[in-house]
Amino acid sequence: MSPKNTGRIVIIPGTRTATRKQQTDEIIPQPRRMSRQLRHGVVFAVLLGLVITSLLTLSPLTGGQYGLPILQNFGHWLQNPLGWTIPAHMAPAQAQMNNHQANVNMPPMNLPKSQYVAIAQQDAIDAGISPVYFVRQIYLESGFNPNAASPAGAIGIAQFLPSTAAGLGINPRDPIQSLRGAARLMASYAKNYGGDYAKALAAYNGGSGTVQNAVRNCGANWLNCLPGETRNYIHVIMGI
């Protein structure tokens, strides 16, 4: 006698899917996160390296020595490549400042405590000339006195003749205009003489004709052919 079919469906729970998932989880390794202490250590090491590099390249001690002797050669190695490229791009005013720093023959000069000294320095920098030479020049011209006047008719802090001031479009009695105009005039002279600042000073003091006569008569020794006043003018300002 065959068993009677009752029409019921019997579901037998399976375990194969769960077993496969468990095996897969066991095979695939879970990513390991870096510990907080290790992350902080890496960040600190990077920052420390940046600080040391900055100190070596930007803050050498006096005489070119470094606080840690073991890092001295490394510091020089970092600085030398910069030293090869900087002179080629050095501005004319910066080059002139380097030149006057090496000149120890400039006579001492006691500058007044005047606001016009700082203004003259900035005007010189803006015009692309040496602020040191320009300040010494204005001191020699007027002692930074805006009301200075000479027997020859020059007036103001930069000692312009009225005709010269008119040609520059400035009021010679206005110290701000005069300093700016004098700096630009010196820059123009220096450019005309190929950057020879001594000739620019000679032109400011004695006129362009004085420079031409000295060069024509003495050539490379033109300084020796200048009038005594102009020759002393250059010596006091530049020390040559």
**Catalytic annotation present for 141:** yes
Tokens of 118: 């700082």
In the three-class reduction of DSSP (H, G, I as helix; E, B as strand; rest coil), residue 155 is classed as strand
Tokens of 225: 């052919």
The type of residue at 75 is G
Annotated catalytic residue within 75, 141, 198, 200: 141
- Sign of dihedral through CA atoms 126, 96, 101, 175? negative
CA angle 162, 142, 205 (to 5 degrees): 60
Contact 96/187 with Cβ under 8 angstroms?
A: no
Tally of helices (H runs) and strands (E runs) in the chain: 11, 0
Q: Where are the alpha helices (DSSP H) in 175-220?
A: 175-192, 197-206, 208-218
For residue 160, list its beta bridge partners.
Answer: 155
Helix (H) or strand (E) holding 74: helix 72-85
Active-site positions read: 141
